[in-house]
Structure 1
């Protein structure tokens, strides 16, 4: 890319085009909120001197910028209530203090923005429109000086709170979450549930943003959502078009429901399996028997011994009854069809309790996807050019 093309590209739009519905939602909300603020300014305005600009009306300019943030980008850290209320109020206090102590207008103008920015950063209340509040106070110094520090609370804080209250109600009614920040104990602790995707704690997300100096532009919860969405898209790309039929084992060793568990154990040992599907004589799937199920059936605690004569006589025959596959199998298991995407199989096997996923066609077993099948599919997707290892090597 040529240099002039890079320059033109850097001057172009840096964000995508918003949806028309979102544009209308934000614009209407900002207009409603700002109109109510203008009405409140008219009601609460103090009796200023007739000469000079009205500082309460001049306040509408930075409040318009606050409305833009609160309604158009309500997830931004710059738009949150703490940033808006504290930022606007502190900036107004700094502006009033300057008009009362600094006689040179040019110096007061420069100091108003500088000190307001520093105070907002120290208080973790960075709100760009607040710099306009401080500047507006200095520009109307003659009339603000008559009111004093109360100007920072009414109308600045009062109008800011009204605007934010409208933003809270309007955003929630139109499907947006505002305020977006959450208390630390309620904040997301990880990007996703433990599984194939790595978990990232909230403090680590915060540290990433601070290291990249992006903590004023995006919050940890936003970053968590972005990473989670990126993981999902990456998985879709990695396994795009891969379904059960492409990875399943078709030649499956099975057992009938009435096979004694000793024979089931022999099958599992003979074929070096972890899971054995149970199917009836019609080929209909009944459940799964795993090695864990067998161990659990043999490790049952002894029942309380009854002392009746008949019970003692019948006990040897009762103890001789061996459980069968239907007695120990797991009936409630996740299943799939031949067109089930690989991502669904990953979720089923990543949950931990299930060793394999039966693949069914109208209730009949047609295949089985084990964890070994899944690992082979993952390896093939990750390293498509790698040749399979030679047996015995």
Structure 2
């Protein structure tokens, strides 16, 4: 492992913000904490003010460095600290053992914050500061939630709202951006031709936002990939096999000569043919891979010359398959014409084939679904080709 790789392993990148954005975040943190500690010192004294300021310092990192994080939104910030304050005061009043009280204060705060959807990590610091605080802190009791916590929250939130929205032109809270500047719809993105997003695209988008996103690029890429799969599955839900099948698949009889089958596949540019009986019941399927497997031992001069030699040897009496029934794969997995296409992909993945015959209620062949075409439908390429 090189030094560069070791550094990347020990200190992975956390964001793609500009230098000016980093400086702005630092100044916002300074301004918010300066005012918060100033207010706390007035009510608690310098020592206890620093204990409260520690939790507010952690909040400042979220409010000014990662304002788009769900953990930094106003309800998470205000609710997290107030809930933690009430839980910690209750724990201190009811539990004489400070070690147990400290654990209950932090654990209980996490539980309530999670259920109230106001999870804010610095809230744990607020809870602990109350347990280990001095006489000035303990004397306030539940009034601590008002002075200094509520005052600090009001000051910090006011600074965050003004600083992030006016001084830096960020969007805070993030819901304002979603309300006033909604993201493009899936349809709009598709119409713009933006169907494929890779890791570089995500990195470029984050740089354009120019704010730390509290999710790694890898997680964003995984989220996008999973969301795309779910979106594709949602769009095709209710689409039947008959809607995506080739209604005129190439078919041959079981006693068809293999050389004729090969020529027919070349003529129709088909990679697979269905072997049927007189009533179009599916007997088997033959693909190019079947020809290649059978003629592999003869393929010393390249394809298709080896295939011609293979057919010739079969016709002069060698013990090689020469009719369709001798080469076809059987039994054949098929699906009904009303089968939802969301059930087809698992079949292709499980059995590792690319051709899936479609039959009607009488088990007669009515079409063929191929994996490449199905994937094009899932990516909306089929509609683009037809337009």
TM category (shorter chain) comes to 0.3 to 0.5
What TM-score does the superposition give when structure 1 sets the normalisation length? 0.45
What TM-score does the superposition give when structure 2 sets the normalisation length? 0.46
Bigger helix share: 2
